[in-house]
Structure 1
Amino acid sequence: MTAGLAVASHAPPFPAIDWSRPWFADVAAAGQAASSADDWRAGLCRAAASRGITTAAGLPLRFVPQSALPCGESYEAFIAATGCVPTRDNLHDFFNALIWLTFPRAKAALNARQAAAIAADGIGATRGSLRDAATLFDENAALFVTADPALADALRGFDWSTLFLARRQAWGRATEVAGFGHALLEKLVTPYKSVTAHAWIVPVDRAYFEWPRSERCAWLDAQLTRALAHAPFTSHDFAPLPVLGVPGWCQDNDAPEFYADTAVFRPGRRRRVAAC
């Protein structure tokens, strides 16, 4: 290095992440690769290009600085029109990029749906029910993947005892959770007991749990794409899921008393929850 000259650092400007945490399983490889690149945003772009990721309109996906977003233009409409994702120097946008790399078709479908709603209704003081639901999905969704309808019923019915204790052995064999919302993953960098996701139920065959992780992600991506591209949905189509209750996600939940905290594992009324 030449004496007296400083070398610009392009390392991610946020804390180190423990990629071994179970909730990062689907994004860990991409996250580690991007965060170790000389320029993390360029690393994300290279990863997108190598995977051939595009928007719903077929535009190659790129991650650009936030300053690329024109003043007054909608974020979602800009992505749909250009293929460029404005990406700030923070954890929130970093995880958003990792979800694009992990579930690219679903993210593209979600973006197209939001952009179409903006084109039809404009940007007002309120988003409307579709955009509200799409935003919840984008920011805070967890995919509750299950081959057992009784476990989906337990989730819908706030039956935490059945879901997490009586049927504990079903986790990893007949049900699992995958993170989708980038704000959810951001919270889980420094997890706390009350972190709660908006769970979206995805029914599967039991054979799903025998597939490698990469095949599960690809299947979920395709399934979500169909649901997000066309199906009507609202914010009422999610179920609350305190994610640190997931067996294996928190050592403290090995003790049944963990679930006795009704401030986190709240009782509630059974409600309609959509499924793919």
Structure 2
Amino acid sequence: MADDRHSDALAPFRAIDWTRPWLAPLESRGRRWQAAALDGHARYLAQLNDDASKAALVTGRGQPLAFIAQEDLPADASYEAHIAQTGSVPTRHNLHDFFNALMWFEFPRTKAALNARQADQIDALGIGPTRGGVRDALTLFDENAVLFACAEASLADALRRFDWRALFIDGRASWGAQCEARIFGHALLEKLVAPYKACTGHAWIVDVPADYFLADEPTRRAMLDERVSRSLDAAPIRSRAFAPLPVLGVPGWWAANASPAFYDDTSVFRPGRRLHRQC
């Protein structure tokens, strides 16, 4: 029975399909971590900390990044404040925290900026029964954001207006040449281990120059990380700053979306703000 429970606990890690297009940027490190996670929590944490030490990453207030077991978080400590103050990220043996840790390596400046903003809010307002608008928006970003890198204003406008035809059908050839989507939210990545059509992220639009799309993968990722982290530092963040993006609508991410009829499902691809503007 104990072996069966152990096998069930590891099943989500085994279910990760690295051939999914949205996981391609994470595959190299992700496969190593997946193997470590399948060996057990202690082996997994050791792998994360070995990589963190080599990468010399820091958290929101400049503390060296490290990973600890969730049970090592003091009972009276706030998760975000503890990370900012100590550098140690409480980490459970599950997919949610697996993808959270991966994002610390993929977008370290953005994760540090989010952590700093969260800790600042806690310092100012304390921990109450609700987070408040700013902390809610920061959490939404951390959990469910999709970074929409875009060099063509009309595509960003189509996303904001819920104009799915302009974005996904008429603008299909622009994907990879003038715009792209990258999953940042770790809760969204967890959901996408078992993808479903209505799975929707909160897009954060990032203006990039046209030559962004000529750069290699590490250069694009570093550029996004720098721009997003600066945007989080520079201005107040509110939930309305995001644009809903049904992620399986991204061209090349789901075989069924090769047919324009895929986007006719208004329960997923809702008219939203586009109709509102016309009224």
Residue in structure 2 matched with residue 3 of structure 1 by the alignment: none
Instruction: Report how far residue 128 of structure 1 moved.
Output: 1.1
Out of 140, 159, 169, the position equivalent to 1:165 is 169
Distance 1:30 1:82 in 2: 24
Of Structure 1 and Structure 2, which has the larger fraction of its residues in helix?
Answer: 2
1:184-206 per-residue CA deviation (whole Å, 9 max, x = no partner) reads 10011110000000000001111
Q: Distance in 2 between matches of 1:142 and 1:154?
A: 16
User: Among residues 146, 149, 154, which one is paired with 2:150 in the alignment?
Assistant: 146
Q: Does residue 226 of the first structure (1) align with residue 230 of the second (2)? A: yes
The 5-angstrom pairing of residues 28-177 of structure 1 reads 28-37=27-36, 39-177=43-181
In structure 1, runs of 5+ residues without a counterpart are: 1-5, 272-276
1:25 is paired with a residue of what secondary structure?
helix
Tell me the residue number matched to 1:254: 258
Aligned equivalents of 2:273 and 2:223: distance in 1? Answer: 32
The percentage of counterpart residues that share the same residue type is: 56
What is the TM-score when the length of structure 1 is the normalising length? 0.92
Aligned mates of 2:60, 2:120 — CA distance in 1: 11
Compute the displacement of 1:270 (Å). 5.0
Count of residues in correspondence between the two structures: 262
Pair 1:15-2:13 in alignment: yes
Listed one character per residue, the Cα deviations across residues 40-73 of structure 1 (whole Å, up to 9, x for unaligned) are: 2211111111111111322111111001111121
Partners of 1:237 and 1:131 lie apart in 2 by: 14
* Distance in 2 between residues matched to 1:133 and 1:57, nearest whole Å: 20
Shift of 1:36: 2.1
The answer for the alignment partner of 1:264 in structure 2 is 268
Identify unmatched segments of 5+ residues in structure 2: none
- Provide the rounded CA distance (Å) in 1 between the counterparts of 2:50 and 2:225: 20
- The amino acid of 1:36's aligned partner reads A
RMSD value over aligned CA atoms? 1.6
Please give the secondary structure, in 2, of the residue aligned with 1:201.
Answer: strand
Match of 1:206 among 210, 214, 229: 210
Amino acid paired to 1:172: G
Q: Residues 113-134 of structure 1, C-alpha deviation per residue, up to 9 Å, x if partnerless?
A: 0011011101111111110110
> How many Å apart are 1:25 and its aligned residue?
2.1
Local SS of the residue matching 2:169: helix
Q: Using the alignment, how far apart are the partners of 1:15 and 1:108 within structure 2?
A: 26
The question of whether the paired residues in 2 share the 8 Å contact of 1:26 and 1:217 is answered with no
Superposed displacement of residue 228, structure 1: 1.4
- 1:32 & 1:44 partners in 2: Cα distance? 12
TM-score when normalising by structure 2:
0.91
> Counterparts of 1:171 and 1:61 in 2: how far apart (Å)?
35
CA distances 1:144-203 after superposition (whole Å, capped 9, x unpaired): 111000000000001001100011000011000011100010011110000000000001
